[in-house]
Amino acid sequence: MRMKRTIAGVLFYCLVSITASGQEDSSFHNYLYDSRTNYFNQLPPQKKSVIFFGDSITQWGDWSELFGFRKILNRGIAGDNTYGLLARIDEIIRHDPKKIFILVGTNDLNKKSTIASIVRTYGSIIDALKKQLPATKIYVQSVLPINEQLINRQYYSGTNEQITDLNTALKGMAASMQVTYVDLYNSLLDDRRQLKAGYTYDGLHLSGNGYLAWVKLLTNRKLL
């Protein structure tokens, strides 16, 4: 209960301090978020599992199939951002996982969040996980590149330049908090420094080949 109050307090502070200044949209509640979070909470704990924690790019990966073993929990929710992850962190903690692979930030950029605010909220996520799960290995995965020729600009406003700047900040945050940073970004680029067309179907989300490249990187680094 004490940690729940602490996390709620951190989240409330973040929401009030940012939205009061009018700098960004820190909202995360919607039908998909609420229904999927309720679904997760109804499932029994899976102790010592591996958890993939993030937004739609995580949600749409069939992780158990991709890695060939069962005890991987997919905790991705389409449209989620750092505030949403922080709000549902207790559901992650209850599993006492061996490893957590986090990927978030794409939707924060689309909501016009500053890099400083993204990193601040992300840091709160890491801090809460480390305090409650001291034996769990935490991996901060870089935000993925986009293909700016294929992406629908009515749908997504972020740029690779912004993503690169965010990833630089996340790498520094990971080092300072003593967790592992995983550079997915550079492994998915073509020779024009765009997300490879063969790895995506809309310039943002990954195709099967994109997920296979992601899995290969984690496997080659012996992270999973």
- The tens digit of pLDDT for each residue in 141-198 reads 999 999 999 998 888 999 999 999 999 999 999 999 999 999 999 999 999 999 999 9
- Are 93 and 129 contacting, i.e. CB atoms less than 8 angstroms apart? yes
**Average pLDDT score, the chain:** 89
Tokens of 219: 């496997």
87-101 mean pLDDT? 97
pTM, to two decimals = 0.87
Delineate the domains of the chain, giving CATH numbers in brackets. Answer: 2-220 (3.40.50.1110)
Measured in whole angstroms, how far is the alpha carbon of residue 176 from the centre of its chain? Answer: 18
* Cα 185 to Cα 195: distance, rounded to the nearest angstrom: 8
115-136 mean pLDDT? 97
Per-residue pLDDT at 125 exceeds 50: yes
Beta carbons within 8 Å of 11's beta carbon, 6+ residues apart? 83, 86, 87, 124
**pLDDT at position 70, please?**
81
* pLDDT digit string, tens, across residues 186-200: 999 999 999 999 999
* pLDDT digit string, tens, across residues 71-89: 999 999 999 999 999 999 9
- Are 54 and 84 contacting, i.e. CB atoms less than 8 angstroms apart? no
